[in-house]
Chain A
Amino acid sequence: GNSVTQMEGPVTLSEEAFLTINCTYTATGYPSLFWYVQYPGEGLQLLLKATKADDKGSNKGFEATYRKETTSFHLEKGSVQVSDSAVYFCALSSKTSYDKVIFGPGTSLSVIP
């Protein structure tokens, strides 16, 4: 079945450091890929998405490129801020998963001043 794997962390970075959170997926067909972010005490928010191969999703300085050849959708940000401290979830949806969204385990990020 479809699945999402991501580094679980926790990841601790200094402010202005470069961030990469790896995400790989297993799916048949052509899934849509997402990154969601969950700030402490809140629900999930959609951060960015990509719907086809080589698409790049971007938002708030975060980027991720849909790589079908490596089945990956790694999240990157050039310079993190303390306010980026949160849990990040990689997710996919596809017709073969009956349109359900399948989430990875989440990666906790702490950014220290």
Chain B
Amino acid sequence: KAGVTQTPRYLIKTRGQQVTLSCSPISGHRSVSWYQQTPGQGLQFLFEYFSETQRNKGNFPGRFSGRQFSNSRSEMNVSTLELGDSALYLCASSLTGTERAYEQYFGPGTRLTVT
């Protein structure tokens, strides 16, 4: 079974631009979560989607948004990029997200650099 895939793997953008990252979960997984990883802040939860609905949201500004499609693929968008948005963005999928042992499978991440 194929793992979680994320595209692109690397991205360089300029301040003020916007960016869209894509995540394809493991086949059959319906929950997709997004995380931002930086050396200073560690792993921070952005949001989670389940059945095309945002179910959980972290403490990020409205510039960060996401969506999920009917095939469970998910995209996240960051508008008006800031230098501080430079990070590794990780996507994780799980079966439903409601089972008690909330076992997540992570993709390799998208490395975003904002200049």
Contact = CB atoms under 8 A, between A and B. Distances in A.
Q: Report the contact-size class of chain A (Cβ under 8 Å from the partner).
A: 20 to 34
Contacts of B42: 103-106
A42 B108 CA distance: 5
Contacts, number: 56
A75 B101 CA distance: 18
Contacts of B81: none
Q: Report the contact-size class of chain B (Cβ under 8 Å from the partner).
A: 20 to 34
A43 B100 contact: no
A100 B43 contact: no
Given A34-B103, A49-B101, A99-B97, 18 more contacts: A32-B102, A43-B90, A43-B107, A44-B92, A44-B104, A44-B106, A46-B103, A46-B104, A49-B103, A51-B100, A93-B101, A100-B33, A100-B45, A100-B48, A101-B33, A101-B45, A101-B104, A105-B42
Interface of A: 32, 34, 36, 41-46, 49, 51, 89, 93, 95, 98-106
